[in-house]
Structure 1
Amino acid sequence: MADKIKSFFQKKKTNAKFMKAGKGYKLTESTSTIYSSTEPKEPMRRAEPTEEAKIAGQAALARLEAKKNDKPRFNTSYAAIQARVKRELELERKAAQQNLQQTEDITLKEKKIVDPSIFAVTDVFFRCPYLSDEILSRDEWKKKIREFLYEQLMGEEAGLTACLIIQSCNFGKEKIESCVETLGKYLDNIINNPNVEKYWKIRMCNKIFQEKVLPIEGALDFLKAAGFEQQKLLHNENEEDFLVWSPDNCNIENLTMLNEALRSAEPIPIELDRNLQVLMPSQARVRNELPPSFFTISKEEIKKEQQLRTEAVERNQMLRTKAMREKDEQRVLRRYKFAVLRIKFPDGIILQGTFSVHEKFQNVIEFVAENLVDDKVPFLLITPDGIKLIEECHGKTLLELRLIPTAIVEFSWNVTEKESMPKRYLKEDVLSYIQTV
């Protein structure tokens, strides 16, 4: 994310603060017992001061000396004000960072002791039809997929398996794409020039290989399946490690097939599980929190959040356009990855499901329909504000409809004749999901 400009200060507010400071006062002005008079008085002989008077006089002199040593008034030049405000903002930023770290530490502790019964969901779960019908967390599926692929790597389709490892076991889309492009060029050179032996060798100390291929899990396995073997060869009179291709290990036809597989491979997909729940009203009132694991925030994202808060303070000091406000709102909304939606039926029962914020509202309609006693009767979902989410809304995402991170919508049959309305709403097997209150 590009760095933000932090050049707006609380100029008007700060200037107003110092303008109200007043004109100051003279050190000689005092409420002490020393008075001056314009009336001429005859000189009079003063008696020797008593010891008490001497002590009082010394105290008065000490007070005057202290006032003389006071710091001068603050420099009210604009540059001085800017410097002062900058220092204050920096102190506020550091204090806010400390508070954020303390909050983070407290949150980590609360994760261990919080009562899970207050959560609307305990976690975000997924399915992987490619492997099994199990319902697991994302991390559990990543681990299971990795184990599965490495088991398959020992089989006959090692090259195809390596393609899936590259796509499924690494992080960073750009890094993966860069690796695939580099591996593809290695193979293209051999396929297009099968008799040119210089294309048969890959120097492992090469910068491109070191940066784009070696760090990617599965890349070396792919090259091995494509017919490359590691060997020591002379390079500039020094012995170095090379990967050397041999047509005896993989012919051009198989190399072409692997090249196509490499470029068309995709990660093994996992699907978001709806985590269907049916709640009584009393349960819904209690279970209204989302667990910390529902929103995954990395250290980098925490720092970014703090930066955004600091910038927000500065932006509030200037006039901002509608477009600027909408942009900031969109940035806040994009922090959410998932949403928990509750559909409240007229009988008080609540159907709950988990969705991606980027899913279309049509998916919510389908989720509700497949759990109804009669999915042929048209129905409407209505927001608490009375807004009917009509067909035009079905093509919009939950993010666009602001139904995140949690939302409640009310169910209503969309028919004119009451006689045609089903008397019940949810299927019997769905109602069996209601948990003991």
Structure 2
Amino acid sequence: MAEKIKSFFQKKIKDEKFKHAGKGQKLNEPSSSAPSSSKPANIPKRHEPTEEARVAGKATLARLEGQKTSAPKLNTSYAAIQARVKKELEQEKLALESEMALGQEKTTKQEDPEPHILAVSGVYYQCPMISDEVLDKKKWFDRIEEFLTAQLVDDEAGLSACLVIRSCNDGIEKINTCVDTLCKYLDNIRNDPSEAKYWKIRMSNKIFQEKVKPFKGSMELLKAAGFVPKVLMHQDKEEDFLVWDPDRSTVENLTTLIDALKSSESVQLQLDRNVHVLLPSQAAVRSELPSQFFVLSAEDIKREQTEKSKAVERSQMLMTQAMREKLMKDKERKYKFTLVRIRFPDNIILQGTFAVSENYQEVVQFVQQHLSNDKFPFYLITATREKLTEADFEKSLETLNLVPAVVLTFFWDTNSNTEAPSQYLKEETLNLLQSM
């Protein structure tokens, strides 16, 4: 069934691309560039824009033209980047020397600190099963629902409905209950197709109302299974039912849908690394993390600060093992994502977003894929001069305390008897250098 779901997605994506490929043409027909002798279709008259629209359009064009001429293209050649880094380091050194020379003569007036901005604008995902887009989670949920819902009208509507149920509803336990209930409906018919009482589902039934009907995809699944709405007598009054029609489905079809319901999973999203390349000055000011990185809200974090005052009391009281484990779990739930920055010997900084549950090996592979030679032997060191090794590969970033943000220093492995590279990051990565 997993292979069937995979081929289902491949077919649907192929169909989507085909739909947008334009009108087809027979091999023996002249190309579209040749003049046609047929009578042209009636083209509707174009409405002239209003005066306000004209003014707005001119203003937009003027602004764009101004941007084209006033904003020079960023030079991302390695030599230019190195020159910028060298200039920044010299300016930083001069500023530090000037500050030390002033000493006690420093004025009491303090300069305003440089404004801090977000290191990343948010957390983004990819979904290769659907498209090549990079979107935030909410937009992806809408996109997935839109894609799957569009498939509920074809021959594979049942499989689409299973994926809608798994992917477009909230609460894993409630979803599992819905799936179990649907499987029971279908299983009763499959095991005893001659028993008419299994053919009917009373729509006012409490179980149906609470565990099935509210879930997206559930009604489409029952329709694909052969159920049709009917009004029947029940306890001397008419009521709405869903009734299984053997002419619209087969026992084999029910078996297929049961297997699909049990084996299907929600459409998975992949965390996008949101790769950035930064100069030291850029990294210094881009230090704030977006709220998506934290499990707790700002108010919760403030409340937690007040709880720290009670830490001494807790440390002095006798605690059970269960109490200690609960405190550890509460601590681990603070962060969902972490921002990893790799500082190279040439002072260029590579940045990526990771889930705190990911292993350290993922960071190593991230660095490798952006090196000018992915075979370069290297290791990373933390701010506390701790060397991370292969022994840490399977440890999570949370376990290694590399959260919610960390700067790791890249070191060339001199024991490898390999010459150090003249350039660490590949050109495609350097082209991502952020403009100021």
Query: TM over 0.5: same fold?
Result: yes
1:8-47 matched pairs, under 5 angstroms: none
1:125-140 matched pairs, under 5 angstroms: 125-140=124-139
1:97-246 matched pairs, under 5 angstroms: 118-246=117-245
| Identity across the alignment (%) | 50
Q: Give the Cα–Cα distance (whole angstroms) in 2 for the partners of residues 164 and 418 of structure 1.
A: 53
AA of the residue aligned to 2:413: N
**2:295–2:333: 8 Å Cα contact kept in structure 1?**
no
1:302-321 matched pairs, under 5 angstroms: 316-318=312-314, 319-320=316-317
Structure 1 stretches of 5 or more lacking a match? 1-114
- Which residue number corresponds to residue 383 of structure 1? 382
Give the 3 Å change call, closer, same or farther, for CA 297–205 of structure 1 in structure 2: farther
Q: TM-score, normalised by structure 1?
A: 0.69
SS of residue paired to 1:288? strand
AA of the residue aligned to 1:328: L
1:330 shift after superposition: 3.4
**1:361–1:396: 8 Å Cα contact kept in structure 2?**
yes
AA of the residue aligned to 1:340: L
1:327 shift after superposition: 4.1
Q: For the aligned residues, what is the CA RMSD?
A: 2.4
What is the total number of aligned residue pairs between the two structures?
320
1:317 shift after superposition: 2.8
SS of residue paired to 1:416? helix
- Which residue number corresponds to residue 422 of structure 1? 421
- Greater CA radius of gyration, 1 or 2? 1
**1:277–1:352: 8 Å Cα contact kept in structure 2?**
yes
- Which residue number corresponds to residue 436 of structure 1? 435
Q: Give the Cα–Cα distance (whole angstroms) in 1 for the partners of residues 116 and 151 of structure 2.
A: 41
1:137 shift after superposition: 0.8
Give the 3 Å change call, closer, same or farther, for CA 201–264 of structure 1 in structure 2: same
Give the 3 Å change call, closer, same or farther, for CA 252–325 of structure 1 in structure 2: closer
AA of the residue aligned to 2:143: K
Q: Give the Cα–Cα distance (whole angstroms) in 2 for the partners of residues 426 and 343 of structure 1.
A: 11
Give the 3 Å change call, closer, same or farther, for CA 189–265 of structure 1 in structure 2: same
1:333 shift after superposition: 2.6
1:329 shift after superposition: 4.0
**1:123–1:291: 8 Å Cα contact kept in structure 2?**
yes
Structure 2 stretches of 5 or more lacking a match? 1-113
1:177 shift after superposition: 0.4
AA of the residue aligned to 2:173: E
Q: TM-score, normalised by structure 2?
A: 0.69
1:293 shift after superposition: 4.1
1:219 shift after superposition: 0.7
Q: Give the Cα–Cα distance (whole angstroms) in 1 for the partners of residues 419 and 365 of structure 2.
A: 21
Give the 3 Å change call, closer, same or farther, for CA 229–116 of structure 1 in structure 2: farther
- Which residue number corresponds to residue 262 of structure 1? 261
**2:159–2:257: 8 Å Cα contact kept in structure 1?**
yes
SS of residue paired to 1:152? coil
Q: Give the Cα–Cα distance (whole angstroms) in 2 for the partners of residues 234 and 288 of structure 1.
A: 67
Give the 3 Å change call, closer, same or farther, for CA 308–227 of structure 1 in structure 2: farther
AA of the residue aligned to 1:240: E
1:246-285 matched pairs, under 5 angstroms: 246-285=245-284
**1:116–1:122: 8 Å Cα contact kept in structure 2?**
no
1:384 shift after superposition: 0.7
**2:116–2:286: 8 Å Cα contact kept in structure 1?**
yes
SS of residue paired to 1:248? coil
1:275 shift after superposition: 0.5
**2:293–2:338: 8 Å Cα contact kept in structure 1?**
no
Give the 3 Å change call, closer, same or farther, for CA 257–417 of structure 1 in structure 2: closer
